[in-house]
Amino acid sequence: MKASTFFTPEQQATVVSAIAEAEHATSGEVRVHVETSCKANVLDEAAWLFKKVGMHRTADRNGVLIYLALKERKFAIIGDSGINAVVPAGFWDSIRDHMQQRFSEGLFAEGLSEGVLMAGEKLREHFPRLKDDVNELPDAISFDTDETVV
């Protein structure tokens, strides 16, 4: 299965909508990337992608990447140094556990959307949106073929 066809168009729209909602009241940036297969350790691959797409260049270092590797049935959540400095210990694990539970129920788009919104709540708490805030990164889902869905 190709990464770009794992979610239906409606499910993709739900995830993109969750990204936009999560970012609405924060200067933080959330990205979702879906790969058909992960060629390395999922955390290493997510960290490499985090840097490749420039998430480390946000003004407040408050980017969050949720990375899914379909074939391996693994995922990772990576937060930049700004958000990592202010979230409590175990915060990312709580999102991971929630998403894993939803995934085990077969609710992939729901679990992903809920994870995005959970990250957005913490971003909003620590990095509220300012009047002059700009959306520094696209809200679209990216795929291993560099396809994006808006």
All structural domains of the chain with their residue ranges: 9-149
Give the CATH number of domain 9-149. Answer: 3.10.310.50
pTM: 0.92
Q: Which residue has the tokens 């990772």?
A: 76
pLDDT at 148: 46
pLDDT band at 145 (very low <50, low <70, confident <90, very high): low
Q: Are 75 and 42 in contact (CB under 8 A)?
A: yes
Distant-in-sequence, close-in-space partners of 95: CB < 8 Å, separation ≥ 6: 77, 115, 118, 119
Q: Could you read off the pLDDT of 54-112 as tens digits, one per residue? A: 888 888 999 999 999 999 999 999 999 999 999 999 999 999 999 999 999 999 999 99
